[in-house]
Structure 1
Amino acid sequence: MKSKLLIMTAILLAALTACGQNDNAINNDSEYGDQSRNGKDFVGNGLKRVSNNDWDNEAERPSDQILNTPHHTSNNSPSMGQQIDDIRGAIESETNYEAGSVWFNGNTIHVTVHDKGKIKTEKERNEEMQRIQGIINRAVPQYNIDVKLKK
Structure 2
Amino acid sequence: MKLVIAEKETDEDEENPVKYLATNKIDAPTEHVIRSYGMRWRIETFFEDSKQDLGLGDCEMQTDEGASRHWHLLMAAYSLVRLDPDSRALGTVRSKASSLRANLEHSLKEAVYNLLSWVRDNDDRGVDDLMKEIDHLFVHSTADANVQS
Output the TM-score relative to the length of structure 2.
0.32
More strand by share: 1
Q: Which has the larger radius of gyration?
A: 1
Q: Pick the structure with more helix per residue.
A: 2
TM (normalized to structure 1)?
0.31
